């Protein structure tokens, strides 16, 4: 791993963010990859953006229960989830 430096843009580590930890990633110029010092995740810009989108998506659906999925496990339908009623 080459010298640690921040990338052109700051990206949050998607692996840490899914555990509710907000970590900035570092950029490895040699491999054109972003990596996280905390958890060891690394990926290219496309991966980081895609996974961060998924992580945000999880929070957007926080109050909903998914009732059906397609074959890629993306939700097709959902309903409002009220924990107090369970
Ligand atoms: Zn991380």
Q: Where are the domains of the chain?
A: 14-85
86 Cα: distance to centroid of ligand 1 (angstroms): 34
8 Cα: distance to centroid of ligand 1 (angstroms): 18
**Alpha helix ranges (H) inside 1-86:** 14-17, 45-60
21 Cα: distance to centroid of ligand 1 (angstroms): 8
State percent of the chain over pLDDT 70: 78
Q: Look over the chain and give the mean of its residue pLDDT values, rounded to a whole number.
A: 83
46 Cα: distance to centroid of ligand 1 (angstroms): 16
How far apart are alpha carbons 32 and 38 in whole angstroms? Answer: 19
Q: Tell me the per-residue pLDDT of 36-73, one tens digit each, with 9 for 90 and over.
A: 999 999 999 999 999 988 877 666 766 778 888 889 88
């Amino acid at each position: 791993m080459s010298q640690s430096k921040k990338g052109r843009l700051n990206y949050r580590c998607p692996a840490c963010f899914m555990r509710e930890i907000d970590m900035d990633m570092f950029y490895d110029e040699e491999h054109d990859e972003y990596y996280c010092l905390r958890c060891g995740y690394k990926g290219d810009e496309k991966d980081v953006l895609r996974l961060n989108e998924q992580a945000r998506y999880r929070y957007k659906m926080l109050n909903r229960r998914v009732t059906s999925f397609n074959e890629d496990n993306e939700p097709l339908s959902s309903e409002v989830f009220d924990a107090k009623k369970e």
